[in-house]
């Protein structure tokens, strides 16, 4: 991932830059307000009318609210609990993440007291107890638990690049932070044992790195893409290899045997996410003229765009959308894919919509005004967030995200996937993650 200080990196970073510098143009029009109203969100306040059935949705929402506090709340808006209370000039909360087993929450925190500044990775049980702290050299902008729910990897701005480290034994009595690497941009994928990671740094480095910092090269020709993927069974690593010109190939490297299999040839920068069961990869390729999603002339020249899902066992591929996609996220059981699409309507604001694919077809939702935080924090780096964060409820019957309502930017809404069930607001906030259990 890239931090606040960015340098050009072929094609992939251009996409991120387009999101972060132009996202504000999507949130400034009366037309946008009317579009948001059609989502059936009845109010911007937490005490809205919650539709029947919301109280049965499982799990807990982790939210950074409008005041910067880190809170948890039930999907029906009840049982609100503050895990970390922000205080201007004293305490700042950054990124947050659930552990894969749902037993812990981790977040980044900056404490300023008596002229000193200390940055930490903090963890606790969802109820706020069993708190641990590990001092780190910078405030993380991204956190990712390992699959065993023991360690927390973190990224943050460090010098002219991005620093990478791991808090080992994050849930133990004496957690310890170890700085492992630095680069720009920086993406990674945990190995299933929690003792190694697959890293993609810069435009020519694809390696495995151990918790002691030792590295082994995986491939000498990584292509233009973001996060690599280490499959849940540990047997396969997915990444993109560069070819001639804009030609690239999504490949599967079978560890142990050292055999590489071509999965799909693509033209341009590759973006991909793996279904949670490890069976299916969803990908899109964008050429140089298709990366600026806020170019209003893009629809006229975008050609071979849209998301394709590929069965890794059979090789069967299906194009599930033909419009350009900004991001896409799998439901926990891999049966649904939520695709975020920009909507271009003349000279009006660029709105967004969700397209849901369920294996049989797609359903398109109403347009809405995406919040600046959604477009700035997660969407540009969605292939990384897809490995550490979920907007979906554990049962796959709803998902949550921030949007802008009239007079209420950064409103967290829950969108049930059943036809005819409207979205509803649970409160104000710039970031939301649904617990895995």
Q: DSSP letter string over 385-399?
A: HTTT---B-TTSSEE
Largest CA distance in the chain: 61
* Closest to 97 (Cα-Cα) out of 143, 152, 131: 143
Instruction: State how far Cα 202 lies from the chain centre.
Output: 20
Instruction: State how far Cα 214 lies from the chain centre.
Output: 27
CATH architecture group of domain 12-434: 7 Propeller (2.130)
Give helix then strand counts, H and E, for the chain: 5, 31
Domain segments of the chain: what residues?
A: 12-434
Q: Could you read off the pLDDT tens digit of each residue along the chain, which spans 437 residues?
A: 876 433 222 223 323 333 232 233 333 333 333 322 223 333 334 445 688 888 899 999 999 999 999 999 999 999 999 999 999 999 999 999 999 999 999 999 999 988 899 999 999 999 999 999 999 999 999 999 999 999 999 999 999 999 999 999 999 999 999 999 999 999 999 999 999 999 999 999 999 999 999 999 999 999 999 999 999 999 999 999 999 988 999 999 999 878 999 999 999 999 999 999 999 999 999 999 999 998 999 998 898 899 999 999 999 999 999 999 999 999 999 999 999 999 998 788 899 999 999 999 999 999 999 999 999 999 999 999 999 999 999 999 999 999 999 989 999 999 999 877 889 999 999 999 999 99
């Amino acid at each position: 991932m890239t931090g606040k200080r960015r340098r050009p990196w072929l094609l992939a970073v251009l996409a991120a830059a387009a999101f972060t510098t132009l996202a504000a143009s999507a949130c400034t029009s009366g037309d946008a307000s009317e579009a948001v109203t059609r989502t059936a969100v009845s109010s911007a306040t937490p005490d809205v009318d919650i539709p029947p059935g919301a109280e049965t949705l499982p799990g807990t929402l982790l939210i950074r609210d409008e005041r910067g506090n880190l809170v948890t709340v039930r999907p029906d808006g009840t049982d609100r609990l503050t895990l970390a209370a922000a205080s201007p000039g004293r305490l700042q909360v950054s990124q947050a993440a659930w552990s894969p087993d749902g037993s812990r929450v981790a977040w980044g925190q900056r404490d300023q007291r008596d002229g000193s500044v200390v940055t930490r990775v903090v963890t606790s049980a969802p109820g706020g107890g069993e708190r641990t702290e590990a001092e780190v050299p910078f405030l993380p902008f991204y956190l990712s638990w390992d699959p065993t729910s023991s360690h927390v990897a973190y990224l943050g701005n460090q010098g002219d690049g991005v620093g990478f480290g791991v808090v080992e034994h994050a849930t133990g009595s004496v957690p310890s932070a170890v700085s492992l690497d630095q680069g720009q941009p920086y993406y990674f994928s945990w190995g299933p044992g929690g003792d190694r990671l697959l890293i993609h740094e810069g435009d020519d480095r694809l390696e495995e790195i151990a918790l002691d910092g030792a590295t082994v090269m995986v491939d000498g020709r990584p292509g233009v893409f973001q996060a690599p993927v280490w499959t849940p069974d540990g047997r396969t690593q997915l990444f993109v290899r560069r070819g001639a010109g804009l030609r690239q190939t999504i490949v599967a490297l079978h560890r142990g045997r050292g055999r590489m299999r071509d999965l799909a040839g693509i033209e341009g920068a590759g973006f991909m996410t793996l279904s949670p069961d490890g069976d299916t990869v969803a990908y899109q390729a964008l050429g140089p003229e298709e990366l600026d999603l806020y170019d209003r002339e893009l629809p006229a020249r975008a050609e071979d765009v849209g998301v394709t899902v590929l069965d890794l066992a059979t090789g069967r591929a299906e194009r599930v959308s033909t419009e350009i996609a900004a991001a896409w996220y799998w439901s926990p059981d891999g049966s649904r894919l939520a695709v975020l699409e920009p909507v271009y309507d003349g000279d009006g604001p660029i709105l967004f919509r969700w397209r849901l694919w369920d294996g049989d077809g797609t359903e398109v939702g109403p347009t809405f005004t995406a919040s600046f935080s959604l477009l700035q924090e997660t969407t540009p780096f969605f292939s990384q967030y897809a490995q550490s964060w979920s907007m979906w409820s554990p049962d796959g019957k709803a998902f949550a995200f921030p949007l802008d309502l009239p007079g209420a930017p950064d409103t967290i809404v829950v969108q049930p996937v059943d036809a005819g069930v409207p979205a509803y607001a649970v409160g104000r906030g710039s970031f939301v993650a649904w617990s895995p259990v």
